[in-house]
């Protein structure tokens, strides 16, 4: 069995996150690699920045040993052990899920949607994509991840400005997870695509974007696709997208992710017929590219 001498430090509050040595943002965006025997960091520069598109810093233990001419005979995988990934997948109780499907007048993201679309459209979006409401922060939205079999993997809790529709990132990034709020110990999370439940008994072509917000808005303007979201730049993986096997898929990357998603498309071509839209890339200004705008930004502004 493979051994894993170094893994990324599990999140246990902001005390386990640090300032990135590359971008040096005030927010703690840096995750260290730790020794699995001692739980100590290998070095303060060995880790990964979660600002994948704007920074992209990733210094692995293997590279650290090479750069410092240090001998290390054990294999360095830097990923969770196989024994963990083979555990039974945990799911959110349906009662928790169902209890969130209300209180939309207090949901900041739904309030923003109501400024874009009429009440009937908003209601259809809420029910189609299982948008939930939580009390974690005042106005919290829950984007539930429900698979094609109806199993609830988790929910991403996020806070939005109800006027602008932008995520609240100050004084910290307002993102949390439903599986961390239910008090269930040893929860073995296996994320799925947001909107994956829409694939059941549906042969429409699939459009894949990064954010849940973009998938929702695009589904109104471009209804010929099933709009799904991976949730973050790093989640566009063969494993997470395996459910798309045999589908016809178009990727709509954010402006700051075009090259990375174009490269990922080559991997995904092993399981599905895939293409990458260059619509934004060909029409955006340099300023818009630097801002990393996405499809939703254009749809809201011009449609």
* Least confident among 15-19, 136-140, 144-148: 15-19
For 267-279, what is the mean pLDDT? 94
With cut-offs at 50, 70 and 90, classify the pLDDT of residue 20: confident
Higher pLDDT, 95 or 82: 95
The pLDDT of residue 84 is: 37
The pLDDT of residue 2 is: 53
What single string gives the DSSP state of each residue in the chain?
----SEEEPPP-SGGG-B--TTT--SS--EEEEEETTT--BS-TT-EEES-TTTT--EE-HHHHHHHTT----S----S--HHHHTSPPP---HHHHHHTS--GGG-HHHHHHHHHS-HHHHHHHHHHTTEEEESSSTTEEEEEEE-TTS-EEEEEEE-B-TTT--B--SSS--EEEGGGTS--TT-------BTGGGGTT--SEEEEES-HHHHHHHHHH-TTEEEEE-SSGGG--TTTTGGGTT-EEEE---GGGHHHHHHHHHHHTTTSEEEE--HHHHH--HHHHHHT--HHHHHHHH-
The pLDDT of residue 83 is: 41
184-229 confidence digits (pLDDT tens): 778 889 999 999 999 988 889 999 999 999 999 999 999 999 999 9
For 166-182, what is the mean pLDDT? 93
Q: Which CATH number fits domain 196-302: 3.30.420, 3.30.1490, 3.40.1360, 3.40.50?
A: 3.40.1360
The pLDDT of residue 75 is: 52
With cut-offs at 50, 70 and 90, classify the pLDDT of residue 286: confident
For the chain, what is the mean pLDDT? 88
Which percentage of the chain shows pLDDT scores above 90? 57
Q: Indicate the domain borders of the chain.
A: 6-85, 94-180, 196-302
With cut-offs at 50, 70 and 90, classify the pLDDT of residue 81: very low
For 144-165, what is the mean pLDDT? 96
């Amino acid at each position: 069995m493979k051994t894993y001498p170094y893994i990324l430090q599990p999140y246990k509050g902001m005390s386990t996150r640090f300032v990135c040595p590359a971008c040096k943002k005030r927010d703690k965006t840096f995750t260290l690699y730790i020794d699995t025997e001692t739980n100590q960091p290998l070095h303060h520069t060995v880790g990964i920045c979660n600002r994948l598109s704007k920074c992209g810093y990733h210094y692995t233990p293997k590279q650290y040993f090479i750069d410092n001419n240090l001998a290390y005979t054990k294999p360095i995988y830097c990923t969770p052990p196989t024994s963990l990934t083979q555990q039974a997948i945990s799911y959110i109780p349906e009662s928790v899920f169902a209890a969130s499907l209300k209180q939309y007048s207090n949901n900041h993201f739904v309030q923003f949607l109501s400024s874009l679309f009429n009440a009937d459209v908003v209601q259809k979006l809420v029910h189609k994509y299982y948008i939930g409401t939580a009390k974690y922060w005042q106005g919290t939205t829950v984007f539930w991840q429900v698979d094609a079999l109806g199993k609830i993997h988790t929910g991403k809790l996020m806070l939005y400005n109800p006027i602008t529709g932008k995520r609240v990132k100050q004084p910290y990034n307002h993102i949390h997870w439903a599986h961390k709020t239910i008090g269930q110990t040893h929860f073995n999370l296996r994320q799925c695509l947001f909107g994956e439940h829409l694939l059941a008994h549906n042969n429409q072509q699939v459009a894949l974007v990064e954010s849940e917000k973009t998938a929702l808005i695009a589904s109104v303007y471009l209804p010929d696709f099933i709009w799904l979201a991976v949730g973050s730049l790093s989640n566009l993986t063969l494993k997470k997208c395996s459910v798309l096997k045999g589908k016809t898929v178009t990727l709509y990357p954010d402006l700051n992710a075009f090259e990375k998603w174009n490269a990922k498309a080559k991997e995904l071509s092993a399981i599905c017929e895939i293409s990458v839209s260059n619509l934004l890339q060909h029409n955006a200004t340099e300023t818009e590219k630097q801002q990393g705008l996405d499809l939703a930004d254009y749809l809201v502004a011009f449609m």
